[in-house]
Amino acid sequence: MKVFQNVSDIGPLDQALREAFEIKADRYKFENLGRHKTCLLIFFNNSLRTRLSTQKAAMNLGMNVIVLDVNQGAWKLETERGVVMDGDKSEHLLEAIPVMGSYCDIIGVRSFAKFESREDDYSEKILQQFIRYSGKPVFFMESATVHPLQSFADLITIEEYKERPRPKVVLSWAPHPRALPQAVPNSFAQWMNAADVDFVVTHPHGYELDPQFVGNAKVDYDQMHAFEGADFIYAKNWSCPGVVNPADYGKVLNKDLSWTVDAAHMAVTNNAHFMHCLPVRRNMIVTDDVIESPRSLVIPEAANREISAQVVLKRILESL
């Protein structure tokens, strides 16, 4: 595997899940695979889970790990060609990327949507340059449009906790004070569409996800109706994807707290498990009692980030 971006990059999901559970049973089984190999993790944005879980996964495989926070201690990077660099940016991404590639065998990159241009974000302008110029396999640690390590961990969690063969999984928009990217819901929709689940998306009008991700999933604008009989509720905020009105891309169109997942919402489900990728704003996205309930999976879900990262790194190491 040279790039990990989409669900299709991991191949058949049943095989990926088998590998995940094999690693979960013995996470040091492949501890020699990454010997004398270096994994470089590059963060343009903050992280707790992705940083720690990916680092741990690489160490479980015997790799050396270097972590770079681009905005803390590195030269400020210019990303546009043709710019006269007479401002505060000292280095161009086009030199920085191949230099970074020369110090490692695998590169993970986190670079969120900037919301300056839908076209730039949805063409994955930054990550595509890493793929093109680093000379090394690149895995996405949350880009402008996708967060595949998260979605793979979510799938592992659903597989572990499902109580019927084809569970009903509902992705629900929930309110948030700031404009958040669409990467998590995009990826989650993509992975759930590929998995053996009954998948429903619910959100207010104006929050329609890009068709390349939502595919043929059922969309229900009535949140309570969508929750009926659900086995898993996956809550997440996202800003306007600009599908209906491109001028609204990245805007917060709605802060309606009636969309907050609370006990009344959970009461109409099939005793559903609650999921969220974290970090989460309590009593905006979900109430204290729901996230603290025995049906909340937010902690095991985050723990599975180590497993999803380890499967991906293993696959990349095997292809070097």
Q: Are strands 91-92 and 64-69 parallel, antiparallel or unpaired?
A: unpaired
Size of the site for ligand CP (CB under 6 A): 9
The residue among 194, 260, 198, 204 whose CA lies nearest residue 229 is 198
Residues 6+ apart with CB under 8 A from 253: 204, 206, 207, 240
- What DSSP designation does 209 have? P
Q: Applying CB under 6 A, which of residues 23, 44, 49, 68 lies at the interface with ligand CP? A: 49
Q: Binding of ligand CP at residue 48 (CB under 6 A)?
A: yes
Among 50, 143, 145, 223, binds ligand CP (CB under 6 A): 50
For the bound state, the minimum distance from the C-beta of residue 51 to ligand CP, rounded and expressed in Å, comes to 6
Taking CB under 6 A as the binding criterion, the range among 42-50, 82-90, 127-135, 174-182 that sits at the site for ligand CP is 42-50
Regarding 143 and contact with ligand CP (CB under 6 A), the answer is no
Provide the minimum distance between the beta carbon of 150 and ligand CP in the complex, in angstroms, as a whole number. Answer: 5
Residues 217-276 that bind ligand CP (CB under 6 A): none
Residue 125: count of CB within 10 angstroms of its CB:
18
The span of 29-37, 44-52, 98-106, 198-206 binding ligand CP (CB under 6 A) equals 44-52
Distance linking the first and last C-alpha atoms of the chain = 8
- Of 273, 304, 270, 303, whose CA–CA distance to 290 is shortest? 273
Q: Is residue 176 a contact residue for ligand CP (CB under 6 A)?
A: no
142 binds ligand CP (CB under 6 A): yes
- Residue closer to ligand CP (CB basis): 48 or 320: 48
How would you class 115 by CB atoms within 10 Å of its CB: exposed for 0-12, middle for 13-18, buried for 19 or more? Answer: middle
| Residues at the interface with ligand CP (CB under 6 A) | 47-50, 142, 150, 277-279
